[in-house]
A and B are shown apart, each in its own frame.
Chain A
Amino acid sequence: MPGMRSGLRLDDPTVAAAFRSALVHQGLIALLIFASLGLVWMSVRVYPRRPSLEAGPVAGAASAALPEPAWRQVLRVGFGLLWLIDGILQAQPQMVLGLPSQVIEPTAASSPHWVQQLVNWAGTTWSYHPVQAAAATVWIQVGIGIWLLAASRGPLSRLAGLAGAGWGLVVWVFGESFGGIFAPGLTWLFGAPGAVLIYAAAGLLIGLPERFWRASRLLGRLVLAGTGVFLAGMAVLQAWPGRGFWLGTTHGRPGTLAGMTQAMAPIPQPYALSAAVTAFTGFDEAHGFAVNLVVVVALAAIGAVFAAGRPRLIRPALAGLTVLCLADWALVEDFGIFGGLGTDPNSMIPFALIAVAGYLALARAPAPALIAEPAGPEPSPAGWRDRLRIASVARSIASASIGSVASAWAIGLIIFGAVPMAAAQASPVADTILARAINGASALVNRPAPPFSLTDQHGRQVTMASLRGKVVLLTFLDDTCSVDCPLIAQEFRLAGQLLGADSRRVELVAINYNPLYNQVSYIRAFDRQEGLNGIPDWLYLTGSRAQLQQVCKRYGVTVQVLPAGSMIGHGDYAFVIDQAGHLRQEMGFDTGPGTQATRSSFAAELASAARQLLRQP
């Protein structure tokens, strides 16, 4: 249908290819860095040690340390794997365009206005440079995962935890809309208070200094008490009258919980999973009160046991919580990662990991034995200058474990992922890949631009010849069009702004498509509507019905007068004409979804085309 906008498919091949290419290139560079690091490490280790190399201090050598407690291992390895899975899930091609529209914005939809504004700002920021943002997210999360898995102790390990906490908070705020805690319908069963907030909490625990390892019992007590109070609170929320959780159905429709699970079932996924969720939905519809009673009682009882801290009862309570988490993960959260654009396995596994870690910290006293690191001479205090000496650096590298090397690589991955995104986001102009994805590449031509003689918005005659000496960015706009023409006008306006001082040598020109509403008063009304009336290099041209039909025909632009209250049917085009009056590029200019990002992308493409011609001798 001419005149209608198309969308931008989530699996758009242009964008998907660019994303794949970015991942492959960045992945190869990451591997190269890893190989280089490994080579340096091995070379230094096998290099015959000279006395001078052995004389100086060796970082960490001869120090005695506590072994990493079991609770920390559980958190570090568990959340390391989770971050790794999250990073891999972020590599889905649809994530590039789909994250803002399919994940971020729907999550925020039921939250207060200020949350929506904050989150939509993040979505728009992502949309401007989606390929760089998506690739960066992959590398940051993979990097955090590898870092956590590789660094078992020492400052690097603590830093890994804190990095996970920091990134987790970013994802919790912008990706999960604060885990929906400000939205109605909050329930632990569906992931409250947000899976990534649990990641962040785990990161903070991992980041605790080693002296806290000696107070594992106190730490375990605190973690379990906190978990218990949280569960008790969630039980109260679950039992709160009027929230709909006690009802399997309301007015013949699924109740609150059944409604949530019913919405999960149709997501494309293996049949067995869908069938399990559907079966639970049916069960909850039939026995809503009983299901909620079990949930409320279980949450309250487990919460009370954890909060009270009775050691005898904690183990069965933990077993009960684990079973509850697994059941909820399978039947309510639908495992979180299948179908759609799942970016993590939701909250139940992280929640269970936190509880298990708390139990381990409480139940297992810290190992009394000290681990002696490889013996060496007693280190002498060294200043930063000594540490930077080649010999000292070489000694440090030689004494580093494989875990430290992998950690360094992981840190490199994170930085490597974040820097291109940060550099891209610093630009206020969207990536032109969006425009190319919507309309494909422009056609390069070189022939005289068809002539015209029309009237501008000020009533002056304008001909093609009168525009010689300037680069002309030309389009066709219907002055009463309600959808895409106003967007194209904005794209042209923005292109003028992007051109800055160059705009004096560029004319932005639109020709009226509409042969029925062709008076100057209409193009003036359109200009006022779009804020174009004050732009000096903007010309909106109109003419008689015959004149407009002729110029449309000359430029190969189709126009249809459609019946039954439809707007004029037309395609969307842009033409780039050089200073000598030669047509140099023909662009499809369908506005796509018409977002702020796509408008910016089209404007950037126009400005770039104009600049190319201006640079030519």
Chain B
Amino acid sequence: MTRPASLSGALATIAAALIAGCGTAAPAAHAPAAQVRGSGAPLLATSLVTPAGTWAVVVMGGTAASHNNFWQLFIRPAGTSRWRLVTPPGVPDNGGLVVAGGGGQSVATALRPSQYLTFTPLTRTTDGGHNWSSLGPLDAALANTPDALSAAPGSGRLLALLTDGTIKATAPGSAAWHTLVTRHMLAITPTGRRCRLTGLAAVSFTPAGTPIVAAHCASPGVAGILAASNGTWQAAGPAVPAALARLHITVLRLTRTGNATTALLAAGTGPGASILAAWSADGRHWALSPPFRVHGAALTSASFGPGGAAAVVMTGHHGAVITMGQAWKALPDLPPGTATLAPGPAGTFQALAVHRATLTIWQVSAAGTAWVKTQAIGVPIQYGSSG
């Protein structure tokens, strides 16, 4: 029997088509160049100082399933040396917890939604976290950044940055939210066009109560900070040194500390990237720190203390601190699990290290070369309660 000559050819074509159509993985999307900022939302771990004390936010619990990771709020009350757990009850906080000091004893927190929850509950304490009272909810998800919520000094007015780039605000004395501005509206302002605004990173108030916004700018050498001024938004960021003018500048943090506004900037990407701190008393004129080379390490937390002090935690157990007007100072290798640094009672920063449900507080030794354990707190994590 003879085989039709075209048979093998036809079958081969079919087989080739079959092979060509299968077993080919989709091409991987181009990953962005390495940034100073770490992956995920590590910067939510932070600390801040208010008249009530020093507050620290860290994530604890499981490592594999996000619904077993719970964000915790701790306070070291002013004038004391011991930390205690003050996480607001009543809301699952697997999505993250953002704290804003409103001046005086008042501190507001926003509980970022997770799983099926889509709006953002808010709560406030005026007694150092002993009691919490709920504030009206934000009817959308708060942005995943530690400076997504800010409270104006004195008036209790709140600013919130949402995931969709909308900035909401409350009027003084009111719990009702209204839209202050959106990413799109900012992008089409002359300032937004100059910076080629691509996104928003933070909201804050100047010490005078003026709303300011940190934005991602595509234009090199521009630190995207905009301030509300006479019904419009003006560039208010620091001018970066000429040496950094060609680099991409990212505003990592923007927050009010006491009577100043403090920003943390990243210049460049990859191994050559560096970070800078910036301070302003009026939200317009800035003092810049010298750049601090991070040598490819990723930033996992940034914290602020009194007197313009700032501290950063980076991958590889690296940490550094700076005080306004001084140079960055590297810390001894951080203890394992260090989630954030927080101003300690002795004026130096403490390391807050997390291992599952235990928070350990470390203090730099007198010699400044090692860390000494000062306190450990067991947290009653309710594993499985959110899943």
Contact = CB atoms under 8 A, between A and B. Distances in A.
Interface of A: 1, 3-5, 112, 181-186, 192-193, 217-218, 221-222, 225-226, 229-230, 232-233, 236-237, 240, 243, 307, 309, 480-483, 486-487, 514-519, 521-522, 525-526, 528-529, 561-569
Contact of A522 (B12, B21, B121, B382): B121
B115 interface: yes
B113 A482 contact: yes
B185 interface: no
24 contacts: A4-B384, A112-B26, A181-B21, A184-B25, A230-B11, A233-B15, A233-B16, A480-B121, A482-B114, A483-B387, A487-B116, A516-B132, A518-B134, A519-B134, A519-B136, A525-B137, A528-B119, A529-B116, A561-B90, A563-B382, A564-B60, A564-B380, A564-B382, A567-B385
A4 B67 CA distance: 11
A525 B89 contact: no
A524 to B, nearest CB: 9
A521 B23 contact: no
B22 interface: yes
Given A221-B3, A562-B89, A563-B85, A186 B385 contact: no
Given A237-B19, A309-B3, 12 more contacts: A183-B22, A184-B23, A225-B11, A233-B19, A483-B115, A514-B90, A516-B91, A517-B90, A522-B121, A564-B85, A564-B381, A565-B97
B117 A482 contact: yes
A525 B139 contact: yes
A542 B89 CA distance: 18
A566 B385 contact: yes
Given A217-B1, A565-B87, A237 B387 contact: no
Given A482-B114, A565-B92, A566-B382, A229 B22 contact: no
B362 interface: no
Given A5-B387, A482-B116, A565 B15 contact: no
B90 A516 contact: yes
Interface string B9-42: 0011011101101111110000000000000000
Contact of B15 (A5, A232, A566): A232
Contacts of B304: none
A273 to B, nearest CB: 28
A525 B136 CA distance: 10
A481 B15 CA distance: 53
Contacts of A481: 92, 117
B243 interface: no
User: Which of B26, B95, B134, B379 has most A Cβ within 10 Å?
Assistant: B134
Nearest to A487: B116
B205 interface: no
Q: Interface on chain B toward A: helix, strand, loop, or mixed SS?
A: loop
B137 A229 contact: no
A521 B137 contact: yes
A564 B117 contact: no
Closest 3 pairs between A and B when the two form their complex, measured CB to CB: A516-B90, A565-B70, A566-B382
Contact of A186 (B23, B114, B139, B175): B23
On chain B, which size bracket covers the interface? 35 or more
Contacts, number: 161
B7 interface: yes
Contacts of B113: 482
Nearest to A112: B26
B18 A233 contact: yes
A225 B8 contact: yes
Contacts of B71: 565
Contacts of B11: 225-226, 229-230, 307
Nearest to A221: B3
Interface in B53-104: 60, 67, 70-72, 85, 87, 89-95, 97
A222 B7 contact: yes
Contacts of B116: 482-483, 486-487, 529
Interface in B355-387: 379-382, 384-387
B8 A566 contact: no
A516 B382 CA distance: 18
A239 B92 CA distance: 51
Contacts of A482: 92, 94-95, 113-117, 386
A222 B91 CA distance: 67
A271 B114 CA distance: 44
Given A483-B387, A563-B382, A193 B18 contact: yes
Contact of B386 (A225, A232, A528, A567): A567
Contacts of A218: 1
Contacts of A562: 89, 382, 385
User: Which of A185, A240, A525 has most B Cβ within 10 Å?
Assistant: A525
Contacts of A487: 116
A480 B91 contact: yes
B210 interface: no
A526 B121 CA distance: 11
B118 interface: yes
Given A184-B25, A528-B139, A569 B385 contact: yes
B119 A529 contact: yes
A408 B139 CA distance: 64
A243 B92 contact: no
A298 B87 CA distance: 65
A202 to B, nearest CB: 17
B23 A237 contact: yes
Contacts of A526: 119
B121 A517 contact: yes
